[in-house]
Amino acid sequence: MTDLRTITLVAALLVVGARLAVAADEATPRPVDGLITKPSTHPVDVTLDRLEASLKAHGFIIFTRLDHAAAAASVGLKMPRETVLVFGNPRLGTPNFLKYPTLAIDLPIKALVWEDAGGRVWLSYNSQKYLYDQAYSRHGAPIDSDMLNRVEGLFAAITNEAAN
């Protein structure tokens, strides 16, 4: 009888463990090439406000917020919160746009604050390496490795400040 209880207990633990593993996988967004995604400890609006304040404090201007959930609601569709914040620094961007006008189709920079189906809030943005490799090279603009590394570190700090 002890062997049957032991087997039943082990089987139950395996099932619970598998369910927890699936739940953990569902709680983590699927990796996307070049995209940095981190959890936020705040609701969507608070995360957006904190992100905007941190960006402004570091010399960026906010061009707009694109509220995809509000757009969906305007045509009778429902989706979790999902807002893109579009921002940039004209002192840095304008010289590149003057030399490489078509670069403006891929810039300014964007960050996405979104809520998953389970109610968790996430902050996502393109890594600077990905942006440089994809957008800058696409338009023939040279890649400044020192600038890439400085901006990557700055965005990590800004988004950590917003999300934590």
Element at 92 (helix H, strand E) = helix 90-99
Residue 163 identity (one-letter amino acid): A
Residue 150 identity (one-letter amino acid): R
Q: From its phi and psi, is residue 34 left (phi > 0), alpha (psi between -120 and 50) or beta?
A: left
Total-model pTM: 0.81
Give the chain's radius of gyration (CA, Å): 21
Q: How buried is residue 145: exposed, middle or buried, by Cβ count under 10 Å (0-12/13-18/19+)?
A: exposed
Tell me what the pLDDT averaged over the chain comes to: 87
CA atoms within 13 Å, Cβ hemisphere of 3: 0
Task: Note down pLDDT in tens along the chain; length 164 residues.
Answer: 556 565 544 444 444 444 444 444 456 788 889 999 999 999 999 999 999 999 999 999 999 999 999 999 999 999 999 999 999 999 988 999 999 999 999 999 999 999 999 999 999 999 999 998 999 999 999 888 898 899 999 999 999 999 99
User: What is the domain partition of the chain in residue ranges?
Assistant: 1-30, 31-163
**What is the CATH number assigned to the segment(s) 31-163?**
3.30.310.70
Q: Which of 135, 114, 96, 126 is nearest to 36 (CA)?
A: 126
pLDDT in tens, 95-122: 999 999 999 999 999 999 999 999 999 9
